[in-house]
């Protein structure tokens, strides 16, 4: 198991970014969350198979069809990760 926390900046709020992230994470069999932050970024925490976590981190650069991702910063995560479905 691997866990990562990513902060995604750009036009990522109000453009279905979190829902697209949730669907991609579920497709990859991951647990975690995608949450809007007050500064306009989205925080994504993902846990699961290391290759699938990496795949999600790479996918964050694509995001939803309407998003415009400017940066993705990911670090290892040792905190709690919700089990099962992604939440937002």
Catalytic-role residue among 36, 52, 70, 80: 36
Confirm whether 36 is a catalytic residue.
yes
Catalytic-role residue among 4, 5, 18, 22: 18
CA distances from 6 to 27, 34, 45, 65, 77 (A): 18, 9, 6, 19, 9
Confirm whether 18 is a catalytic residue.
yes
Which residues belong to the active site? 18, 36
């Amino acid at each position: 198991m691997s866990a990562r926390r990513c902060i995604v900046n750009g036009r990522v709020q109000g453009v279905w970014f979190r829902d697209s992230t949730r669907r991609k994470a579920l497709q990859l069999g991951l647990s975690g969350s995608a949450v809007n932050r007050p500064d306009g970024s989205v925080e994504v925490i993902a846990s699961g198979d290391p290759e699938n976590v990496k795949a999600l981190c790479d996918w964050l650069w694509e995001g939803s069809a309407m998003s415009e991702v400017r940066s993705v910063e990911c670090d290892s995560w040792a905190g709690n990760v919700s089990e099962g479905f992604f939440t937002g």
